Structure 1
Amino acid sequence: MSDKLNQDNITPTEKPTESQEAVKQDAKGLLESLRRFLRELLDIRENTDQEATKEAIIADIPFKGHTSWILICSIFIASIGLNANSTAVVIGAMLISPLMGPILGLGMSLAINDIDTLRRSLKNFAVMVVLSVLTAYLFFEFFPIQDESSELLARTAPDIRDVLIAFFGGLALVIARAKKGTIASVIFGVAIATALMPPLCTVGFGLAIGNLDYAVGAMYLFIINTIFIALATFLTIKLLKFPMVRYANSAKRRRIARIASIVALLVMIPAGMTFYEAFQESMFKKQANEFVNATIGKYQFVSGGRYLDNFTSIKYNNGDKPEIELVCMGNEIIPANIISSWNTMMKEDEDFKRLVNTELHVIQGSQNDQVDQLKYINELYESQKNQLSSKAEKIAFLEAEVTRLQKNASQQKQIPFQDISAEAKANYENLVSLQYDNAVITDFNKTDTLSIFEIKWKEGLTPRKMVLENKRVHDWLKVRLKDTTIQLRGTSK
């Protein structure tokens, strides 16, 4: 009876208090279980073999003997793949390339204050770059085909994606190296993703054809990849708390630590600046694409005109006079007031504030030489082929389009010979004479008219020099006259 009375006398707040404590204990247990799960999922320190990792990275630094020949062979393979525009061959070359060793050595030596490894890494890195560029240069210098393939041109300028690929690729690689039992598949994957070799091949290509813009742009891309791979290695080694190299002389140890810190800082500053610039370019291109979609992307052509979105050109130009170039095909012209309203939108709309200083160029088919439209006919066919139900319709479609272009070409195609000859004389000091004529050519199925130029050079030019000069003049004429069918014959006086 007294027990019942005691239970009845319990205050109303005591039972909820016990329930709150139980909930708190359950919550703490849940958080602890979650923390333990995440630690087991993401913690890499427990399964790291620091000594084996350090030895493996140091062992991959030197370039001599077998490693040098493997590098040379892989550069040749990559150069052939870039020249042939074959992604598969380039990937195969990257799989056998030993380019990562000195770069990982740079990051690790800075992280643990190992001045000897740093010195050895820098020396082998220089050897690696020189050997790679020299090999690629020799290939492209003496190989008869020097086409500017899309695979080559893609390696002439970095953007923010290259920066992120290099950083996370380097991160994955050093984590794989640090694991007990190295994950070989990760190493191969990183070798492909970070793409260190193609930029070096492109540097050699740029030097071989005398195009320093290609060479500088590709070397810049390679340096960006190198910096961010080394930075990822540095941060990972620091996170894994690799032991610092100790020196008997405390003054020497402090001096080396200071040097390593300064070098690491010097590496991080350009890395940060590059990331910022790449980010700015990425944001510019994002807004530029939004602008294109909001303007010409929604424009309604009513009489046969067509916007060729695959030929849109967006150039950031490092923030100095960026450009957006839009290409249209057909006889329908977008009115000047519409283009003016697009310019106003680009400069005044808050949604496109990054495009304020951008120049907008709208290239319209009926305002250009017909060769420009001929260049886009394949794009037009590709976009329409799914709507054409039979081979006969495809043939009729193409024949009608070619007939229209040839008819317009006969009316509009003119060669400003006086201007061309004056410019040629001013640009090419060895030029003696320039002759121009039209040739009517037929294969009995169709007839075509070609522009043929004949030039004569001063005596004394070597055959190789004459070939190079002929190529320069030919390329200039094709760009100047916007006609890829121009023929050129060059001889000495």
Structure 2
Amino acid sequence: MSNWKEVLDIRKDSAPISEIADRIEADSSVTGANLIILIMAILIASIGLNMNSVAVIIGAMLISPLMGGIVATGYGMATYDLHFLKRSVVKMSFQIVFALITSGLYFSLTPLTTPSPEMLARTAPTAWDVLIALCGGIAGAIGNTRKEKSNVIPGVAIATALMPPLCTAGYGLAMGSFKFFTGAIYLFFINGFFIAFSSFLIFKALKVPMAHDISEAHYHFQQHVLIAVGFIITIPSIYMAYLTVNDNIRDSQVQTFVSQDMDLDSANVVAYNLEDGTLNVDVVGMALSKADMEDLQKKLNHYTYLKDVKLRIVQGNVNSINQDQVQEIVNARLANAVKDSDGHSYKDLATQYYDSYKREVADQSVLQNLNKEAPVLFPDVQEITGSTLLHVDVEKKVMTATAFQAYVTVHSPMSPADASRLQRWISTQTSLPVILTVQQASTPSSFYGNGIDWNE
């Protein structure tokens, strides 16, 4: 046991108490260099959040002097120095208000007012943020009390992320968004309180001397206040963590349902979206029967977190939609997914799940080759268009490629022999029987077929 105490002894290489006090006093200063650095950190963090740049936000966290005032507050509580504690709280309050005003001014002037994903990530704190702040505060306090300062402090600054929530709260003030302001400021206070609390614990473990003698009753009163405040701050974050876990499990079950239960032979999912207790699924292919939909609804409700979710299937006919329309559907759903955090779309779904889309792409490739080689083999050919024809088995819900319909535009009428050779050649390129229609370019009409000189 004594060996373990030596391994975990944090007093072994700690700096003298007087040196620790001087460091904390210097780091908590809000004038001179620290004030200028604070202003720069606020602006950098605001720009990083505005531009959704993780690297810039990390840079702001590294240079931010906010942690100094918070650690000083923990030191004041540990030494029971009320005068030092009050000064630390005032300094920290000044930094907070200054950061809110500065970031609020920036966001009121910037032309980019849409909240970035980095901002959204700082409006819903959870219990994990409490754990991060506790661990970060302990590591930061230990690193700050060593004889030689280590690189722990920059890492703690990044992990606990004090500056971004404050700037996000400033955005909420500038935009008049109560949700943004309260969510972000709550995250900041979670980080601030638990960093101060963990610093308090480390300073007590180092047995920093009290500024003056206090009664046993006062000592227990402070302990009870800290525990009560910590409990009050933690409860909402635990509830938010519970909601986050539920949302993640629900989203995972939705993805499983779509990828497995809706992996249909005759139709393919283009996109899906869960909103207000309804799972909207866009499907392209053969129409699903009422019995199919009822079966899918039962399968959906078998999932634990989807018992009360209603299934709404939006169907599109595979024969009435082309490549461009499919891409428009996918792109539209992708745009909606950015606006709605519960929306999900497949970026590559057109090439992975949609058979008609792949067939259209294959047809386009064949037509490109035909138009490249045909004028060489058949000088009268001006252009070839066409597509694969499908046979639909309603009972088996299967679509089969039966032939390739080719529309050929010629400069002058072809002979039947040349037309037959052209038909056979196109068939070798498509690996399908070919239905050939030939039309003269100079005599367009409402019907096709005048492109062959049957007198030759």
**TM-score of the alignment, normalized to the shorter chain, above 0.5:** yes
- Residue among 210, 213, 232 paired with 2:179: 213
Q: Distance in 2 between matches of 1:62 and 1:260?
A: 25
Aligned to 2:309: 360
- What is the letter of the counterpart of residue 44 of structure 1? I
Alignment of 1:20-419 (within 5 A): 36=3, 38-51=4-17, 52-183=19-150, 185-247=151-213, 257=219, 260-285=222-247, 287-289=249-251, 291-292=253-254, 295-299=257-261, 300-306=263-269, 326=279, 328-331=281-284, 335-338=292-295, 340-341=297-298, 344-345=301-302, 352=304, 355=305, 360=309, 362=311, 364-366=313-315, 373-376=330-333, 380-382=346-348, 396=361
**RMSD, aligned α-carbons:** 3.7
Flag the 1:137–1:339 CA change in 2: closer, same or farther, 3 A: farther
Aligned to 1:429: none
Flag the 1:275–1:153 CA change in 2: closer, same or farther, 3 A: closer
Q: Are the counterparts in 1 of residues 62 and 158 from structure 2 also a CA contact under 8 Å?
A: yes
Q: Distance in 2 between matches of 1:237 and 1:112?
A: 8
Cα distance per residue 1:164-205 (max 9 Å; x no partner): 22221111111111222111x211111111111111111111
Q: Distance in 2 between matches of 1:262 and 1:160?
A: 21
Q: Distance in 2 between matches of 1:137 and 1:278?
A: 26
Normalised TM-score (structure 1): 0.60
- What is the letter of the counterpart of residue 50 of structure 2? N
Cα distance per residue 1:332-378 (max 9 Å; x no partner): 688543464356435xxxxx4xx59x8636565549x9977432368
Q: Distance in 1 between matches of 2:28 and 2:243?
A: 35
- What is the letter of the counterpart of residue 24 of structure 2? I
Q: Distance in 2 between matches of 1:313 and 1:186?
A: 43
Q: Distance in 1 between matches of 2:7 and 2:174?
A: 50
Aligned to 2:373: none
Identity of aligned pairs, percent?
32
Q: What secondary structure does 1:49 align onto?
A: coil
Flag the 1:395–1:138 CA change in 2: closer, same or farther, 3 A: farther
- What is the letter of the counterpart of residue 213 of structure 1? K
Q: Distance in 2 between matches of 1:269 and 1:40?
A: 32
Q: Distance in 2 between matches of 1:282 and 1:140?
A: 28
Q: What secondary structure does 1:298 align onto?
A: helix
Q: Are the counterparts in 2 of residues 110 and 264 from structure 1 also a CA contact under 8 Å?
A: no
Q: Report the structure number with the largest CA radius of gyration.
A: 2
Q: Are the counterparts in 2 of residues 305 and 331 from structure 1 also a CA contact under 8 Å?
A: yes
Flag the 1:282–1:144 CA change in 2: closer, same or farther, 3 A: closer
**1:294: Cα distance to partner?**
5.4
Structure with the largest fraction of helix: 1
Q: Distance in 1 between matches of 2:347 and 2:253?
A: 26
Q: What secondary structure does 1:67 align onto?
A: helix
- What is the letter of the counterpart of residue 173 of structure 2? L
**1:276: Cα distance to partner?**
3.2
Q: Are the counterparts in 2 of residues 61 and 101 from structure 1 also a CA contact under 8 Å?
A: yes
Q: Are the counterparts in 2 of residues 110 and 261 from structure 1 also a CA contact under 8 Å?
A: no
Q: Distance in 1 between matches of 2:149 and 2:274?
A: 44
Flag the 1:101–1:156 CA change in 2: closer, same or farther, 3 A: same
Cα distance per residue 1:131-177 (max 9 Å; x no partner): 00100110010112212211111111112332222221111111111
Structure 2 regions of 5+ residues with no counterpart?
A: 317-324, 336-344, 366-456
Q: Distance in 2 between matches of 1:67 and 1:289?
A: 45
Q: Are the counterparts in 2 of residues 329 and 373 from structure 1 also a CA contact under 8 Å?
A: no
- What is the letter of the counterpart of residue 331 of structure 1? V
Q: What secondary structure does 1:264 align onto?
A: helix
Comparing 328-337 with 214-223, which one deviates more in the overlay? 328-337
Q: Are the counterparts in 1 of residues 126 and 238 from structure 2 also a CA contact under 8 Å?
A: no
**1:382: Cα distance to partner?**
3.9
Q: Distance in 2 between matches of 1:325 and 1:50?
A: 63
Q: Are the counterparts in 1 of residues 73 and 196 from structure 2 also a CA contact under 8 Å?
A: yes
**1:297: Cα distance to partner?**
4.5
**1:266: Cα distance to partner?**
3.5
Q: Distance in 1 between matches of 2:162 and 2:156?
A: 10
Q: Are the counterparts in 2 of residues 166 and 194 from structure 1 also a CA contact under 8 Å?
A: yes
- What is the letter of the counterpart of residue 139 of structure 2? A
Flag the 1:244–1:377 CA change in 2: closer, same or farther, 3 A: closer
Q: Distance in 2 between matches of 1:238 and 1:89?
A: 36
Flag the 1:336–1:365 CA change in 2: closer, same or farther, 3 A: closer
Q: Distance in 2 between matches of 1:107 and 1:394?
A: 67
Q: What secondary structure does 1:306 align onto?
A: strand
Cα distance per residue 1:383-434 (max 9 Å; x no partner): 677999xxxx89948x99xxxxxxxxxxxxxxxxxxxxxxxxxxxxxxxxxx
Flag the 1:241–1:89 CA change in 2: closer, same or farther, 3 A: same
Comparing 265-274 with 170-179, which one deviates more in the overlay? 265-274
Q: Distance in 1 between matches of 2:183 and 2:230?
A: 20
Flag the 1:41–1:372 CA change in 2: closer, same or farther, 3 A: farther
